[in-house]
Amino acid sequence: MKEVVAYIMASHGYSERKACQVTRQHRSTQRKKIVSDPLVELRQRMHEIVATRIRYGYRRVHIMLKREGWKIGRNRVYRVYREEGLVL
């Protein structure tokens, strides 16, 4: 929807406030940045480790990641491990 407001602003010369009124959107939706997941590579690597080592829990996965050079804490590994459903 950001594109619609940007198009209206560019083509008709409306202000952001007026363009948002026309499209019936809140102005705060235009300013919020889209945040991508910074842990995508970590999640992929954890899936690879768990796929090859089926019996490894989050503690052992954390040790494997540390050996590979990842600078990540055990609590974050535990949180991502749970989110991804990699529970034994």
pLDDT tens-digit readout, 7-48: 999 999 999 999 999 999 888 888 777 788 889 999 999 999
* Residues 22/9, Cβ–Cβ less than 8 Å: no
pLDDT tens-digit readout, 52-87: 988 899 999 999 999 999 999 999 999 999 999 987
Q: Which amino acid is at 23?
A: T
Question: Cα 5 vs. chain centroid, distance in angstroms?
Answer: 25
